């Protein structure tokens, strides 16, 4: 299932936050959105779920304009893991994960089994009875990923999923996303994680797509300098993986 933004424009007050942004995330691929703070990454993904209105452009799920879809229908197809993992309410982890089943009217499987499979996948079974409010920021991220697993959608949109996570859990999440055979659209800040895991990158600057393509096409020293104002070097290790280091 592909996710496509066509010529999206967002204005807040007099400020143009997004200026004709187009992006396509495809089946079985991790598409990364990277860019400096304030460049419009979260704004773009929020428009998909109508969390922010867009003033121009269209958003499609395969050939379906999301404008014509109910929020429940969208949630049957696309899961969302936002930046903010705080919870206003004192739900248990089990209850949070169970919410992933809300868009689905029925299932042949026992819901408790679905919840426990999701906990198992991320090896967080011991959190099941805990209140979400007692978990650390990183632990909460894992719980919301487990909810998306229970939601069983073809696509997942994630806003900085590795934020707050230690290196083991950063790789656990990215490896899960790589192996799950879904359409993954992810806002990511870490250039080296993006280099390692993303199939396609959209590099944003000041509300526009500055560059898009494969990691090799986008992560050039020149593009990184122009967009992030950082001098650095693209290196290759002995296994021919490329990585970026900042020069002093």
Ligand X SMILES: Nc1ncnc2c1ncn2[C@@H]1O[C@H](COP(=O)(O)OP(=O)(O)OP(=O)(O)O)[C@@H](O)[C@H]1O
Provide the 10 A C-beta neighbour count for residue 16.
15
Binders in 4-43 for ligand X, by CB under 6 A: 12, 17, 35, 37-43
Binders in 84-113 for ligand X, by CB under 6 A: none
d(CA 152, CA 103): 10
Q: Are 100 and 149 in contact (CB under 8 A)?
A: yes
Work out how close the CB of 77 gets to ligand X at its nearest, in angstroms, rounded to a whole number.
23
- Cβ proximity to ligand X: between 40 and 103 the closer is 40
What is the β-pairing status of strands 64-65 and 56-61? antiparallel
- Cβ proximity to ligand X: between 149 and 194 the closer is 194
Work out how close the CB of 37 gets to ligand X at its nearest, in angstroms, rounded to a whole number.
3
- Cβ proximity to ligand X: between 38 and 213 the closer is 38
Q: Write phi, then psi, for 75 (nearest 5 degrees).
A: -70, -20
Work out how close the CB of 131 gets to ligand X at its nearest, in angstroms, rounded to a whole number.
27
Residue 52 structure tokens: 């922010």
- Cβ proximity to ligand X: between 100 and 207 the closer is 207
The secondary structure of 91-150 as a DSSP string is -BHHHHHHGGGTT-S--SS-HHHHHHHHHHHTT-GGGTTSBGGGS-HHHHHHHHHHHHHH
Residue 35 structure tokens: 């860019």
d(CA 58, CA 24): 12
Work out how close the CB of 201 gets to ligand X at its nearest, in angstroms, rounded to a whole number.
14
The secondary structure of 139-163 as a DSSP string is HHHHHHHHHHHHHT-SEEEEESTTT
- Cβ proximity to ligand X: between 12 and 233 the closer is 12
Work out how close the CB of 73 gets to ligand X at its nearest, in angstroms, rounded to a whole number.
25
Number of residues interacting with ligand X: please give it, by CB under 6 A.
10
179 binds ligand X (CB under 6 A): no
Work out how close the CB of 161 gets to ligand X at its nearest, in angstroms, rounded to a whole number.
13
Work out how close the CB of 7 gets to ligand X at its nearest, in angstroms, rounded to a whole number.
17
Provide the 10 A C-beta neighbour count for residue 104.
16
- Cβ proximity to ligand X: between 127 and 202 the closer is 202
- Cβ proximity to ligand X: between 42 and 162 the closer is 42
- Residues forming the site for ligand X (CB under 6 A): 12, 17, 35, 37-43
């Amino acid at each position: 299932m592909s996710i496509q933004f066509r010529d999206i424009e967002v204005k807040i007050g007099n400020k143009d936050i997004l200026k004709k942004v187009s992006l396509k995330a495809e089946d079985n691929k991790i598409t990364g959105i990277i860019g400096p703070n304030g460049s419009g990454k979260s704004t773009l993904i929020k428009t998909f779920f109508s969390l922010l209105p867009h003033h121009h452009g269209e958003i499609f799920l395969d050939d379906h304009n999301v404008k014509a879809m109910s929020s429940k229908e969208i949630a049957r197809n696309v899961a969302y893991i936002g930046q903010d993992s705080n919870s206003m309410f004192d739900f248990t982890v089990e209850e949070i994960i169970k919410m992933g089943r809300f868009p689905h009217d029925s299932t042949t499987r026992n819901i408790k089994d679905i919840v426990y499979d999701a906990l198992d996948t991320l090896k967080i079974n011991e959190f099941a009875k805990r209140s979400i409010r007692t978990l650390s920021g990183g632990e909460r991220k894992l719980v919301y990923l487990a909810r998306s697993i229970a939601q069983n959608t073809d696509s997942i949109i994630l806003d900085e999923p590795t934020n707050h996570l230690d290196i083991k859990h950063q790789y656990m999440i990215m490896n899960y996303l790589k192996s799950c055979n879904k359409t993954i659209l992810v806002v990511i800040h870490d250039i080296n994680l993006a280099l390692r895991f993303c199939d396609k990158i959209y590099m944003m600057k000041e509300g526009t797509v500055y560059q898009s393509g494969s990691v090799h096409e986008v992560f050039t020293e020149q593009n990184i300098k122009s967009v992030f104002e950082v001098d650095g070097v693209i290196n290759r290790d002995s296994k021919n993986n490329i990585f970026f280091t900042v020069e002093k």
